Amino acid sequence: MTGSAAAGAHHEFTVAEDGAPRLDLLVAQRLGLSRSQAATLVANGHVLVDGARQKASFRADRGARVVVDVPPPPGREVLPEQLPVSVVFEDEHLIVVDKAAGMVVHPAPGNWTGTLVNALKGRGQGLAEGAAEERAGLVHRLDKDTSGLMVVAKTDQALRVLSKAISERRVMRRYAALCWGHLGDDTTTVDRPIGRDPNDRVRMAVTAGGRPARTDFVRLARFESTDLLRCHLHSGRTHQIRVHLASIGHPIVGDDNYGGGGARKVVGLPPQRHFLHAAWLAFSHPVSGAALEFRSPLPEALRTCLQTVAELPDLIASPNPLEYFGFYRADR
């Protein structure tokens, strides 16, 4: 079950308006689900209106009490798999990986295998058990087609400490992005709430009822039709950087879901890839308190794209072209 309705959760709400939509749409809107998911809940008797089951087409009156019980998902074991995964740091408490684009972070409907969690288990990896098995050890996530650095907890203590550090903004996460067009200033902040797109439940959007989200953008270079940006997350909403840039008219190059997917050949970007990379990660060790810092160079596909738009032939030979543009400078 995706959306904001957690599996195994109990929800109650009162219909506040006259002319409410049909029951499946009403439940979908209130719980952040797709219409088909809501219709399944209704059909299976998990939705009651004033204590009675109704059809998906039923329209509740103003003041009606709607109760929704989302059933827990069926148990599903997360199997270890022998998959390549790049490890940049590891000790008995945590592991830092450089995730490849195209790899889903954790198992979910449609992607029960081939994920980062499967790969870590395939290494014989002990992961924190404080989270659900399919999200074992995960402190934060990256989108499937976003590459770069992630920290994963091996112990419940590390998971608690690192998760708190994330929520208190004590973990530095910087992303490299290439966007279409040119920002109005060299530094731009987008502070707009993000929630499910009411017209497409698999997408996110800036919405009045969304959760607070803020992203700072620093322009590192301006090319003919694109800007190279360093992105600083102050919150961790789903698709946050992608949604915020799209909301100001500058979608990420190659982002098919948020309006930046065209002209791939012009910028030398392969299919199923957008230009977003988690390139810089720093935090205090959850046990020793030691300062840890990690840098990930651009993957080959993004180096090629950057060399194409920058028109600098020697750039592709650089071990990490981001250094050339001052990405890791603390004063920028």
Catalytic residues: 143
- Cα-Cα-Cα-Cα torsion 141, 271, 84, 281, nearest 10 degrees, comes to -40
Go through 175-204 and write b for each residue having 16 or more CB atoms within 10 A of its CB, e for each that does not: bbbbbbeebeeeebebebbbbbbeeebebb
- Helix (H) / strand (E) element for 282: namely strand 276-284
Rg (CA), the chain: 22
Of the candidates 65, 62, 64, 51, the residue with the CA atom closest to the CA atom of residue 12: 65
Query: Dihedral sign, CA of 191, 192, 194, 200?
Result: negative
Q: How far apart are CA 218 and CA 228, in angstroms?
A: 8
Q: Is the distance from CB of 30 to CB of 15 less than 8 angstroms?
A: no
Q: Find all residues with CB under 8 Å of 81, minimum gap 6, and list them.
A: 113, 114, 118, 119, 121, 122
- Residue 14 is classified by DSSP as E
The two three-digit tokens of residue 124, written as one number: 């014989």
Beta strands in 143-233 (DSSP E): 147-153, 172-180, 187-191, 194-197, 200-206, 214-222, 226-233
